[in-house]
Amino acid sequence: MNSIEPSWDFYRTFLSVLRDGSLSAAARELGITQPTAGRHIGALEETLGYQLFIRSPHGLMPTEAALALRPYAENLAATAS
């Protein structure tokens, strides 16, 4: 993991993708474009150094790393509220 903390926007997108299962649905929920949502997830994965989602015909499936990151991201969301 890099020493630079990723943007809150990346975590917000991450949580939305976890809930909704797709970049498109997360983008609609957040009022951003699907490519922007994809860039957020890609940047978060790059910063953290591991894959968060596996692309499948049924949408984005969270990896074990994503499930482990969820409580931290939820805590950030609660703090941001």
Task: Work out the angle between the directed axes of helices 34-48 and 23-30 (0-180°, nearest 10).
Answer: 110
Contacting residues for 25 by C-beta, under 8 A, at least 6 apart: 16
Q: What is the pLDDT of residues 7-39, one digit of tens each?
A: 899 999 999 999 999 999 999 999 999 999 999
pTM for the whole structure: 0.90
User: Is the distance from CB of 27 to CB of 33 less than 8 angstroms?
Assistant: yes
Q: What is the pLDDT of residues 35-72, one digit of tens each?
A: 999 999 999 999 999 999 999 888 899 999 999 999 99
Supply the pLDDT for residue 59: 87
Task: Report how far apart, in Å, the C-alpha atoms of 61 and of each of 4, 17, 19 are.
Answer: 26, 9, 11
